[in-house]
Amino acid sequence: MTTLTLQLELPDNCKLSEQEAKASLVLKLYEDGKLSAGKGAEILGITKREFIETFGTVCWTTSEDLRREYELVCQFSRHLDKPSILKSV
């Protein structure tokens, strides 16, 4: 696997921390289907669950994206203590 290292200079008025800029890029790549939730979480230094809970509300561009996200939600809902509404769908 090859990696790409970026160095980006943003103007001061952008007011983004390095972590916020990294999260913005990761989210865009995830939204475009070019990065998995697991890899996005790894890049940001968080768990996959935290990534999905934080960024799982991104807009889906295709029905396939929606289906994939629905399956992820169903997988996680099995681990919750309370019954999930999704199980009745």
Residue 26 belongs to some domain of the structure: yes
pLDDT digits (tens, 9 = 90+) for 9-31: 888 888 878 888 888 888 888 88
User: By residue range, what is the domain housing residue 28?
Assistant: 17-88
Residue (of 15, 20, 16, 18) closest to 7 by Cα position: 18
* Structural domains counted in the chain: 1
C-alpha 81, offset from chain centre = 24
Residue 12 belongs to some domain of the structure: no
C-alpha 17/C-alpha 20 separation (Å) is: 5
Q: What is the pTM of this model?
A: 0.58
**Over residues 29-39, mean pLDDT:** 88
Q: Quick one: tokens of 16?
A: 């983004």
C-alpha 55/C-alpha 4 separation (Å) is: 23
Residue 11 belongs to some domain of the structure: no
